[in-house]
Structure 1
Amino acid sequence: MVFKRLLGSLGVGGPTVDTVLDPGPVRPGGTLSGQVHLRGGGADFDVEQITLELVARVEAEHAEGESEGAVAFERFVVGGGFRLAEGEQLSVSFGVVLPWETPITELYGQGLGIVLGLRTELSVAGARDKGDLDPLAVAPLPVQEAILEALGQLGFGFRSADLEYGRIGGTGQRLPFYQELELTPAPQYAHAVNEIELTFLATASGMEVILEADKRTPYGAYSDHGGLGGSHTSHGDDPLARFTVSHEVAAHQDWTALVDGWVRELVEHRRDAYGQYGLQGHQYGQHGSSGPGMGTVVAAGAAGLAVGVVGGMVAAEVVDEVGDFFEGDDEGEEEEG
């Protein structure tokens, strides 16, 4: 879906902009390509700059509760310095590289409920306006997909996904927010934890995998914690562990055994201080038996992980939500910026 809008700051007769992305999702660290289509207005205009902006819907926790807002996390200048004649039609092709920490929005074609948008900004003769907004689809990296597939094979299910404003202490996080995937426990771990929270922090060379166990209290209720946010590495007694893997081993690792080892380590040491225990910070993926590649067979458990993601939400509804959310947030973001 493409959202078109007349550049209001330029008044009636101003140029219009329509950005069309190449079909298919892109991966973190991959190239996002497409074309910016311009149509001249009722007079000649000098186009100073065409800018693309990556924007995400992010949740923030504070003393009064939770709130949502749009956070711009990357900008690219893809053109400018030319005159757009009256009524002229012009297309500008672009190819920009997404940040490695760009959140994933879908798994096996199922939307996760994460809202990302690509906003096109046109600067013309000193005036500037957000001229076009498009939903952005991001698929997981092979390593991310392999880990999620392994969790599905182990019996974990998908509960929800969101973007949390803040930073995870002790990591190499670069963006001002992180993605948190909440998983229902596999049967063999249901006695110990209510859910596992998973965060990926990818780089060009590898990826940090952060796991947090929301443990069961003696009465079987959820423990009270505030997630991974802020500068802390854990909250209360909930353990948190960090592991590092490389991109090159996605097709050559027994991921089910490896991920099961991570979860066992997390659960068994859940009462260690601040979650700093066991295998945290170690390199994985350089050894271990050769297992099936992530692209061979998607097991029933992994498929269930994907199907249970949206709880009935249709991917198209998420697409519609992009425009509704960001259109209403422009004014607030301008003031904050």
Structure 2
Amino acid sequence: MGLKRMLGAFGVGGPSVDTVLTSPDTRPGAPLTGHVNLTGGSHDVQIEHIGLALVARVEVEGGSGEYGATGEFFRATVSGPMRLAEGEQVSVPFEIVVPWETPVTAVYGRHLRGMTLGVRTEVAVARAVDKGDLDLIAVHPLPIQERILEAFARLGFQFKHADLEYGQIAGVHQTLPFFQEIEYYPPAQYAHAINEVELTFVTNPHTVEVVLEFDKRGGMFSGSHDSYGRYTVPHADADTTDWAQVVDGWVRQALTHYQAVPGYGHGHGHGHGHHGPGMGGMVAGVAGGMAAGFLAGEVIDEVFDEFEGED
């Protein structure tokens, strides 16, 4: 729930907005519900529309190195035109469905370090758009994701960091312009051969693509190098599989192969290019032009100043 905020774009005496989420907790593919509460100011206004946007901070690799950018990856209109009278109070209910590829930000009820995600409310009046209310949300893993995360923990992997990387994974269908990397330090039984492991989920209504990148230690006559594995896992298998055994198999394959081979279900080994063939190529592959906000300079880092204050 955000604090009631005056919509500064509309001048002194303008309306204020307060977005109240039924719950800040959600999951990929699940609904997010609540109300946008408006209070009229000192004069009547004609509202053109009210919209909600999901906002994330993403790491982008450019010519001068990696930098953080902030942008929208989902937008929905929750109300069309309406007249808001002086001092009038209006509550607009909403329900939006969180995209299946939305990254996980909370595991076992705890915030995943490195992840920041929120829903922002926009109110448009007379061609002026105020990016008013902002609320943090917690995206919990789906059952299949949770079982795989549990397996890494049971095997002794230590969580290091999580972030969002701008780009496309080679050979994996993505609808969002970024993917999540969950980084782990290896336990003792793998540490002789692996520096760290990066886990990525790319989810759709039926399956989860599990992509693993292993930073392998070099030998006496060879430098360190990366090994990759990609596996397609049905949601229905969440509670019918020994996931610690499966994950252990994936890791041991990486120890013996430069390029990982399948170890479960419909998986097939596949390297992934984090940033694809360059900025232009990545944009072409993103459905609906959602990458435009990241490339066109529409960064909104000031939005996350509020997150840091509320967290």
Do they fold alike, i.e. is TM over 0.5?
yes
Amino acid at match of 2:50: I
Distance 1:155 1:322, change over 3 A: farther
1:145-165 per-residue CA deviation (whole Å, 9 max, x = no partner) reads 000001111111101101111
Q: Deviations over 1:5-32 (max 9, x none)?
A: 3222210111111111112510001001
- For residues 75-118 of structure 1, the C-alpha deviation after alignment (integer angstroms, 9 at most, x for no partner) is 00011222111101111111100100101111101111301111
Contact 2:2 2:19 in 1 (8 A): yes
2:248 is paired with a residue whose SS is helix
Q: Which residue of 1 aligns with 2:261?
A: 278
Report runs of 4+ in structure 1 exceeding 6 Å deviation: none
1:259 to 219, 222, 247: 247
Q: Out of 244, 248, 255, which is 2:232 matched to?
A: 244
RMSD: 2.2
Q: Taking structure 1 as reference, are residues 172 and 111 closer, same or farther at Cα in structure 2, changes over 3 Å only?
A: same
2:176 is aligned to: 175
SS of equivalent residue, structure 1 residue 207: strand
Note closer, same or farther for the CA distance 1:281–1:71 as it changes in structure 2 (3 Å cut): farther
Deviation at 1:2, TM superposition (A): 1.5
1:154 aligns with 2:161: no
Q: Which amino acid aligns with 1:262?
A: W
Residue deviations 1:49-88 (CA, integer Å, cap 9, x gap): 1100111011112232221111210100011222111101
How far has the Cα of 1:3 moved from its partner?
Answer: 4.6
> Structure 1 residue 128: deviation in Å?
1.2
CA displacement 1:261-300 (0-9 Å, x = unmatched): 111112221x2xxx3x42179527xxxxxxxxxxxxxxxx
1:159-217 residue CA offsets vs partner (Å, 9 max, x unmatched): 11011111111111221111000011122111110111000000011110000101112
Higher deviation after alignment, 175-184 or 16-25: 16-25
User: Is 1:324 aligned with 2:305?
Assistant: yes
Hey, what does 1:133 align to over in structure 2? 134
Aligned equivalents of 1:123 and 1:222: distance in 2? Answer: 56
Secondary structure at 2:147 match in 1: helix
Instruction: Determine the structure 2 residue equivalent to 1:80.
Output: 80
Given residue 264 of structure 1, which amino acid in structure 2 is its aligned partner? R
Query: CA, structure 1 residues 73+176, in 2 after alignment: closer, same or farther (shift >3 Å)?
Result: same
* 1:1-337 correspondence runs (5 A): 2-113=2-113, 114-218=115-219, 223=224, 237-269=225-257, 271=258, 275=259, 277-279=260-262, 282-283=265-266, 323-324=304-305
CA separation of 1:322/1:71 partners in 2, compared to 1, >3 Å: closer, same or farther?
closer
Which ranges of structure 1 fall in alignment gaps of 5 or more residues?
224-236, 285-320, 328-337
Distance 2:66 2:34 in 1: 35
Q: TM-score, normalised on structure 1? A: 0.76
| Residues 4, 131 of structure 1: 8 Å contact kept | no
How far did residue 254 of structure 1 move? 1.1
- Residue number in structure 2 paired with 1:330: none
Q: Distance between the aligned counterparts of 2:162 and 2:144, measured in 1?
A: 18
Secondary structure of the corresponding residue to residue 238 of structure 1:
strand
Contact 1:194 1:222 in 2 (8 A): no
Q: Normalized per residue, which structure has more strand?
A: 2
Q: Tell whether the 8 Å contact from 2:250 to 2:263 is kept in structure 1 after alignment.
A: no
Task: Tell me the alpha carbon deviations over residues 282-337 of structure 1, each in whole angstroms, 9 at most, x when there is no partner.
Answer: 527xxxxxxxxxxxxxxxxxxxxxxxxxxxxxxxxxxxx9741679xxxxxxxxxx
| Identical residues among aligned pairs (%) | 53
AA of the residue aligned to 2:163 = D
Distance 1:257 1:75, change over 3 A: same
> Following the alignment from structure 2 to structure 1, what is the Cα–Cα distance between the partners of residues 142 and 307?
26
